[in-house]
């Protein structure tokens, strides 16, 4: 804000003052805050679907995963089927999952638009519910009841999470992008897979079919399957046959006598193996689904899935076939991927809500909005603290200049009180709640167990629709506790997001949208001095000290150098009003500089550097270094205090302390220059 310029003011000061008075009064109103706030689900993930529909259009995207580490199990692509198209900002998004072995880079690629019949959609939902229930629960008994609820939910047309997550077809299976053979693996029937297939190549010592709990099954069907062993209650992924192992092979436990596997099962489990000549199966434990968005997960993990187990086929009940171990491994990452996608869609909805009526050319990346609504409690590699520091400094500056130009006769104390009413956490929380921001806040670490499997109605995960300000709909999953301070932090972080990517105009637009009525319109600062500044201070010399800056309104320089105890009739004010504004300007300028200069800096370090730089002692040292103290208009006792400070100045090393750990106490007037 130019306070010594001569440009035309755009609004009458009286009207501006009246509007600002109403705004400040509104900020002072306090209402009880209810920390039970909604948790939003983006409408893009919610569609009521009725089985009476002949077909449905799905926009399909490939979820491509690239491991940045070596592992013996490859990662396959996943097909995401959405009832609505993804925002281009999201469709091109790339992010990393933090796995114990390293990172996996994830990106989305638009693949195709396909029509699926009601029967195909039902097959897809059965597949994804089965595979995710198995991955999340590691058990089978309740799966039947879950699938029964699927049909019930479809017939009722219940609004719930609705999208498809399916295995992608390999190149030789194209043109379809979906691996339909794997999708139909849930409908495995023994009688359809018991015959020897012409294209099978069983081992020399294998008959081509094996006896299982389901009956006779071809070896090609069981080698890539998911099986359940009732005697242990465990699920395994079968990766192949053990060519040299059957029921008569010897088991040699350490420190105990050798015995056959057949004898071991009879003694330990009370089970008599009937088909002791057939080859055994090589299996792996089911993968554990974790929060792979969590930062700093790079450490050695105990990998039980990497350990193979030997299983007699006749004790195995086939649950899904064909299903490769790589597909199962790939699907274990999907809950984390979809949680990030859901968060991005929330950010898109918030961005649209804010910008729907924006006439300015404001472009805000979705990832910045997501950063602004993500708290540190999520424990992810992005959170709001840096943007909060940036937004806090601009909020303080914008509010200060608004009050400074509006209340030109108020002293520093009155201005500070008014500013506090605008920028206090209580006021910011009220602004955020009035705009329904709490529902967008991401305030909890992702728990895969709480992830809603699309199409799964068994958990009673029904949603309630709510209309936002732009008449767009969004859904409420439930309620959770959000502290008022957290809402205030998000408001500041969103100011920072708009400022960092769209500049001051974008930040001002957001602040007005949320209810903080400020502008950067110039109103001349009128002060009536009855004396020429040149008679009391050396204006030209001071301009030379300031790199030859030319004051168009030298009376401001006189006011800035006048101590409050030196008030003369000809000088209507002292430095305190300008100190009020200058403090906010310095805070803002230094924060912006640090934010842009060190983009990779952690929020904690940014806050520390900001505290070190926005520091009264630093300001005083700088004033003494440039000898500005020699021009202060103050009584003798104040100058005596300044002289003592200057005498101690030689003992200080500005390069090493920058105002930290300083043993010298500076005169108050020096801190205000």
User: Helical H runs in 157-199?
Assistant: 180-183
Work out the average pLDDT over 497-515: 95
What's the confidence (pLDDT) of residue 606?
81
What share of the chain in percent tops pLDDT 90? 52
Give backbone dihedrals phi and psi of 540, rounded to 5 degrees, phi first: -65, -40
Residue 376's pLDDT is what?
93
Residue 152 pLDDT exceeds 60: no
If you ran DSSP here, which 8-state letter would residue 92 be given? T
Region 15-25+32-38+335-514: CATH code: 1.10.1520.10
The length of the chain is 673
Distances (CA, A) of 398 to 18, 80, 194, 499: 18, 44, 76, 12
361 compared with 41, residue with greater pLDDT = 41
Helix, strand or coil, per DSSP, at residue 294: strand
Per-residue pLDDT for 531 more than 70?
yes
Least confident of 168-172, 379-383, 429-433: 168-172
Percent above pLDDT 70 for the chain: 83
Ranking 502-506, 616-620, 634-638, 669-673 by mean pLDDT, the lowest is: 669-673
What is the dihedral angle through the alpha carbons of 152, 157, 159, 165, rounded to the nearest 10 degrees? 70
Assess whether the previous peptide bond of 575 is cis (omega < 30° from 0).
no
In this prediction, residue 21 has a pLDDT band, given cuts at 50, 70 and 90, of low
Q: What are phi and psi of 42, to 5 degrees?
A: -65, 140
Pull the structure tokens for residue 489. 């932090």
For 453-471, the pLDDT digits (tens) are 998 877 666 788 888 876 7
Long-range contacts, stretch 589-593, CB < 8 angstroms, 24+ apart: 590/393, 590/614, 591/389, 591/390, 591/392, 591/393, 592/390, 592/393, 592/394
User: Measuring CA to CA, which residue among 561, 555, 608, 603 is closest to residue 582?
Assistant: 561
User: Domain ranges in the chain?
Assistant: 15-25+32-38+335-514, 42-185, 209-320, 533-572+615-672
Bridge partners (DSSP) listed for residue 399: none
* Spatial CA neighbour of 239 closest among 336, 308, 153: 308
Handedness of CA 498, 500, 501, 506 (dihedral sign): positive
Instruction: State residue 33 phi and psi, 5-degree precision.
Output: -100, 130
CATH architecture assignment, domain 209-320: Beta Complex (2.170)
Q: How far apart are the first and last CA of the chain?
A: 19
| Of residues 373, 576, 370, 362, the one with CA closest to residue 491 | 373
Q: What is the pTM of this model?
A: 0.88
Task: Give residue 17's pLDDT.
Answer: 62
Q: Is the pLDDT of residue 3 over 80?
A: no
Mean pLDDT of 166-190: 82
**Rounded Cα–Cα distance for residues 209 and 230 (Å):** 21
pLDDT in tens, 549-561: 998 888 889 989 9
| Confidence class for position 496, pLDDT limits 50, 70, 90 | very high
What are 99-108's pLDDT values in tens digits? 988 999 999 9
Rounded Cα distance, 57 and 486, in Å: 40
Task: Report the range out of 30-44, 254-268, 381-395 with the highest average pLDDT.
Answer: 381-395
Please tell me the predicted confidence (pLDDT) of residue 655: 47
582 or 621: whose pLDDT is higher?
A: 582
* Nearest residue to 38 (alpha-carbon basis) of 477, 579, 603: 477
pLDDT on residue 467: 87
What is the structure's pLDDT at 565?
86
Band of the pLDDT at 206, cuts 50, 70, 90? low
pLDDT at 642 > cutoff 60:
yes
pLDDT at 204 over 60: no
How far is residue 392's CA from residue 485's CA, in Å, rounded to a whole number? Answer: 13
pLDDT higher than threshold 60 for residue 656: no
Question: Residue 4's pLDDT band (boundaries 50, 70, 90)?
Answer: very low
Query: pLDDT-derived band of residue 200, with 50, 70 and 90 as boundaries?
Result: low
Phi, psi of 57 (to 5 degrees): -90, 130
Contacts of 419 (CB under 8 A, 6+ apart): 396, 399, 400, 403
CB atoms within 10 A of CB 277: 11
Sheet of 225-229, strands arranged across: 308-311, 280-285, 234-242, 225-229, 317-320
Q: What whole-number distance in Å separates Cα of residue 615 and Cα of residue 654?
A: 13
- Residues 43 and 468: their CA atoms lie apart, in Å, by 11
Tokens 């949603």 belong to: 463
Distance CA 283, CA 308 (A): 6
Give the 3-state secondary structure of residue 279: coil
If one counts every other C-beta atom within 10 angstroms of the C-beta of residue 74, the result is 13
pLDDT of residue 488: 97
Cα separation, 463 vs 479, in Å, equals: 11
* Whole-number pLDDT of residue 78: 97
What would the pLDDT profile of 179-193 be if each residue is shown by its tens digit? 999 999 887 665 555
More confident residue, 347 or 640: 347
Buried b vs exposed e over 466-501: b needs ≥16 C-beta within 10 Å?
A: eebeeeeebbebeeeebbbebbbbbbbbbbbbbbbb
Vertex 454: Cα angle to 450 and 455 (nearest 5): 120
* Reported confidence tier of residue 12, pLDDT bands at 50, 70, 90: very low
Angle, helix 576-597 to helix 385-406, in steps of 10 degrees: 150
Higher pLDDT, 2 or 377: 377
Q: Give CA–CA dist 638/608, Å, rounded.
A: 32
Residue 632 CA to residue 426 CA, distance in Å, equals 39
**Secondary element (H or E) of residue 395:** helix 385-406
Token pair 């043993």 in the structure block, residue: 663
Q: Report which DSSP code applies to 566.
A: G
pLDDT of residue 98: 93
Mean predicted lDDT score pLDDT of the chain: 84
3-state helix vs strand vs coil in the chain, percent to 5: 45, 15, 40
Q: Beta 225-229 vs 102-117: how paired, if at all?
A: unpaired
Collapsing DSSP states into helix, strand and coil, what is residue 397? Answer: helix
- Looking at residues 301-305, what average pLDDT do you find? 53
Inform me whether the pLDDT recorded for 617 exceeds 80.
no
Handedness of CA 407, 410, 411, 412 (dihedral sign): negative
- Site of tokens 């990832």: 367
- Among 258, 257, 262, 255, which residue's Cα sits nearest to residue 310? 262
**Per-residue pLDDT at 603:** 74
CB 378 within 8 A of CB 446: yes
Q: Which residue has the higher pLDDT, 534 or 494?
A: 494
| pLDDT band of 2, cuts 50, 70, 90 | very low
* Phi and psi angles of residue 665, each rounded to the nearest 5 degrees, phi first: -95, 125
Cβ contact 13:522 at 8 Å: no
Q: What pLDDT, on the 0 to 100 scale, is given for residue 326?
A: 95
Strand partners, 98: 103
The helices-and-strands tally (H runs, E runs) of the chain is: 22, 17
pLDDT at 13: 54
Q: Is it the case that residue 528 has pLDDT exceeding 80?
A: no
pLDDT of 1: 45
Does the structure show a pLDDT above 80 at 154? no
């Amino acid at each position: 804000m130019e306070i010594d310029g001569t440009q035309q003011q755009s609004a009458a000061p009286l009207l501006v003052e009246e509007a600002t008075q109403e705004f400040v009064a509104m900020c002072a109103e306090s209402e009880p805050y209810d920390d039970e706030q909604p948790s939003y689900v983006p409408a893009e993930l919610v569609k009521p679907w009725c089985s009476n529909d002949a077909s449905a259009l799905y926009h399909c995207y490939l979820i491509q995963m690239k491991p940045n580490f070596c592992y013996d199990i490859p990662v396959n692509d996943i097909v995401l089927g959405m009832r609505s198209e993804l925002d281009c900002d999201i469709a091109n998004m790339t992010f990393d999952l933090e796995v114990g072995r390293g990172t996996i880079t994830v990106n989305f690629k638009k693949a195709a638009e396909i029509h699926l019949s009601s029967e195909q959609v039902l097959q897809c939902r059965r597949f994804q519910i089965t595979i995710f229930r198995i991955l999340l629960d590691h058990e089978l008994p309740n799966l039947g009841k879950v699938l029964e609820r699927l049909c019930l939910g479809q017939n009722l047309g219940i609004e719930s999470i609705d999208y498809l997550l399916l295995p992608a077809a390999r190149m030789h299976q194209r043109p379809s992008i979906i691996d339909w053979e794997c999708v139909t693996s849930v409908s495995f029937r023994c009688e359809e897979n018991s015959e020897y297939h012409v294209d099978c190549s069983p081992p020399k010592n294998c008959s081509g079919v094996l006896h299982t709990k389901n009956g006779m099954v071809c070896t090609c069907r069981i080698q890539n399957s998911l099986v359940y062993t009732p005697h242990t209650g465990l699920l395994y992924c079968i990766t192949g046959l053990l060519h040299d192992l059957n029921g008569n092979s010897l088991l040699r436990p350490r420190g105990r006598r050798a015995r056959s596997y057949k004898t071991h099962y009879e003694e330990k489990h009370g089970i008599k193996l009937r088909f002791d000549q057939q080859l055994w199966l090589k299996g792996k434990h089911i993968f554990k689904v974790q929060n792979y968005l969590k930062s700093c997960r790079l450490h050695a993990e105990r990998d039980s899935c990497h350990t193979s187990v030997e299983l007699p086929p006749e004790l195995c009940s086939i649950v899904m076939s064909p299903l490769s171990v790589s597909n199962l491994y790939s699907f274990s990452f999907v809950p984390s991927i979809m949680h990030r996608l859901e968060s991005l869609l929330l950010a898109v909805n918030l961005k649209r809500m804010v910008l729907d009526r924006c006439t300015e050319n404001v472009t805000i990346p979705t990832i910045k909005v997501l950063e602004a609504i993500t708290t540190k409690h999520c424990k992810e590699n992005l959170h709001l603290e840096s943007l909060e520091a940036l937004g806090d400094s601009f909020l303080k500056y914008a509010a200060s200049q608004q009050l400074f130009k509006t209340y030109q006769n108020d002293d520093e104390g009155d201005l500070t009180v008014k500013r506090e009413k605008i920028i206090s956490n209580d006021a910011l929380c009220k602004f955020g709640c009035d705009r329904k921001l709490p529902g967008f806040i991401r305030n909890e670490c992702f728990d895969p167990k709480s992830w809603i499997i699309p199409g799964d109605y068994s958990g009673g995960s029904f949603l309630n629709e709510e209309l936002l300000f732009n008449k767009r709909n969004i859904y409420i999953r439930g309620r959770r506790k959000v502290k008022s301070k957290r809402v205030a932090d998000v408001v500041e972080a969103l100011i920072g997001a708009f400022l960092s990517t769209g500049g001051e105009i974008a930040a001002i637009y957001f602040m007005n949208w949320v209810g903080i009525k400020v502008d950067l319109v110039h109103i001349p600062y009128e002060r009536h001095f009855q004396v020429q500044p040149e008679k009391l201070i050396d204006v030209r010399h001071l301009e030379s000290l300031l790199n030859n800056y030319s004051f168009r309104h030298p009376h401001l320089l006189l006011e800035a150098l006048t101590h409050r105890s030196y008030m003369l009739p000809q000088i209507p004010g002292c430095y305190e009003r300008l100190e009020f504004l200058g403090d906010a300007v310095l805070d803002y300028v230094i924060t912006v500089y640090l934010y842009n200069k060190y983009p990779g800096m952690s929020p904690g370090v940014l806050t520390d550097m900001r505290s070190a730089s926005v520091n009264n002692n630093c300001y005083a040292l700088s004033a003494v270094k440039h000898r500005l103290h020699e021009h202060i208009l103050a009584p003798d006792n104040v100058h005596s205090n300044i002289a003592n400070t200057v005498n101690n100045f030689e003992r200080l090393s500005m390069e090493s302390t920058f105002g930290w750990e300083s043993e010298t106490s500076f005169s108050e007037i020096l801190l205000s220059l």
